Structure 1
């Protein structure tokens, strides 16, 4: 299988435990996923907004989840003023494509380039190179506060080597899936870390790696993935994410690559994504039938934003202010939410 060496892969107890827990949830999802369709689509909507917000912020965007939500409710606009908005619009559209068509999107070089083109379709500065392998070096550099480069963190593949490295990665992944010796989650983790080490495109590699992770998980049967945001888990542990990447990436070209740091991080992140969803679904089950639809949506929003004002709720749900006040009052009196502050500045949080 070319130069991708997995013989040195050590399966630690932590890795085994994470895989077992994730697979158990994957099996149970059929029963758990039997929530009412509108609840499922509400979960997916919230997760998608979180994913887009987090994934673009990891790369330096300044848009909050509320900004993303506003932008997405207005996607008919075809021109986006800022680079951040262009990136969010592209990310949202690619996620839609993945959710709708993952069965048809095989892991091929063409499909990877096509997803890259779609991801950057609104990005004016990336017009020249979207959908094409890089043509100039893009090693990962460190910068000081003033924006001056202070050193190279690590060298990515050269533009000359990139096409061959990507062909090798895609062939290895498809062959390894077919022979079934390694667990699919390990294969996906290894694919992602090598993709990021190659850094095959001039820009957008980080965002595309997270889109590809979702695609590969769906294709491997992890049907619950659209309902909980892996990107927001990664955003909350950004330092650990970069550290694990560097620790493994520095060894990929060696005789015995050290897959452990990255796979441990990756599987722990998947575990947290799954546990968040499990907790949400369990709460849904407890409340199913006992809460009106608007109250359930408000609870979702508070859970996902941490705090919510009446104004936020009005903007995010489109419901009438008095109706919302009534539902908030009910949620407070039943002990689901707490009212903080008073008057205009009042906000609600979880009990």
Structure 2
């Protein structure tokens, strides 16, 4: 795992990410409520994207509505159960990442929470696999097209997991290689092992976020890495397979996966920079209430006069004036008439 060829592109990507990491505190000048809104939006995107990568069908809007009503409704479908588990784990990671040790036991605990709401997975939550789970391809009707990748056997899984988790934890102490490379190596090795019977893809992305936070990339919760992966799903799997196919060689080819991983992190960073710049422009040129209305529109997908009044406490006449100006400035689009009127982002 130590023989990683550092190409010029890999070096430049790491430097760019580290520069943003170092300046995040200086860039982070938005009000706490604005940052909280950015994080909420990114979290919903992450939950939706990561579960859809594995076959779920809930849209971000449906994910948002489901999370808002957790505890008040039964989770009937598997998609709903997966979203609920993912949301609970993300909340845990964001709130407690500093106190979560990177050990096999804690990885198993996170897996248990991830599959907490799925009765189908009750028997194997938090336990390494007892049956082979090679990665297969399926046609549109769900019929298997054959094995795409052979994962570690149930017998070999405990030893291989012990090795990769111990090695990764040691890198956070020794800094023998750059931590972004260490995280990338862990992810591709973890997915090659596929240690649990189910939930490995979702768990790998949660552990990626956990490790990035532990490595000091504090901006990660404010921009969804999972949505970047979903948008580049074919490249994601191709990069994984190219590197995983060489892991048993004396000198594995880490470059395909590490380049994809670092480029995805770069896109995540650029997307956050764009959001921050947009927020600053709005904050400096628009009245406070107008900025709040746009934020509500981003968060909920649509806004109404009544909803804005409830959220802000402002008078209806002031709200209507701001909505009129935002519509004229083409920042909002008006839909419907009379009491059915609502507004969405243009």
Do both proteins adopt the same fold according to a TM-score greater than 0.5, normalized to the shorter chain? yes
Q: Deviations over 1:254-279 (max 9, x none)?
A: 11111111110000110011111111
Structure 1 residue runs of 5 or longer lacking an equivalent are none
The match for 1:183 is 178
Residue among 106, 110, 121 paired with 1:111: 106
Matches within 5 A, 1:173-322: 173-292=168-287, 295-300=290-295, 308-310=301-303
Q: Deviations over 1:252-310 (max 9, x none)?
A: 111111111111000011001111111111122222254355533553466689xx555
The match for 1:132 is 127
Check 1:326–1:205 CA distance in 2 against 1; reply closer, same or farther (3 A cut): farther
Structure 2 residue runs of 5 or longer lacking an equivalent are none
| Residue pair 2:128, 2:197 contacting (<8 A) in 1 also | yes
The match for 1:60 is 55
The match for 1:6 is 2
> Partners of 2:39 and 2:264 in 1: how far apart?
18
Tell me how far 1:177 sits from its aligned partner: 2.5
> Partners of 1:294 and 1:141 in 2: how far apart?
52
- The residue matched to 1:131 in structure 2 has which SS? coil
Check 1:301–1:166 CA distance in 2 against 1; reply closer, same or farther (3 A cut): farther
The two structures have a TM-score, normalised by structure 1, of: 0.89
- The residue matched to 2:123 in structure 1 has which SS? coil
> Partners of 1:195 and 1:140 in 2: how far apart?
13
- The residue matched to 1:133 in structure 2 has which SS? coil
Q: Between Structure 1 and Structure 2, how many residues are aligned? A: 341
The two structures have a TM-score, normalised by structure 2, of: 0.90
Give the superposed CA RMSD.
2.6
Tell me how far 1:15 sits from its aligned partner: 1.2
Tell me which moved more, 325-334 or 261-270: 325-334
- The residue matched to 1:102 in structure 2 has which SS? helix
Residue among 23, 26, 29 paired with 1:34: 29
Check 1:18–1:87 CA distance in 2 against 1; reply closer, same or farther (3 A cut): same
> Partners of 2:146 and 2:102 in 1: how far apart?
34
Check 1:325–1:137 CA distance in 2 against 1; reply closer, same or farther (3 A cut): farther
> Partners of 2:69 and 2:130 in 1: how far apart?
35
Matches within 5 A, 1:142-181: 142-181=137-176
Q: Deviations over 1:1-51 (max 9, x none)?
A: xxxx331x2212221111111111111110111311100100110000100
> Partners of 1:286 and 1:294 in 2: how far apart?
14
Tell me how far 1:73 sits from its aligned partner: 1.0
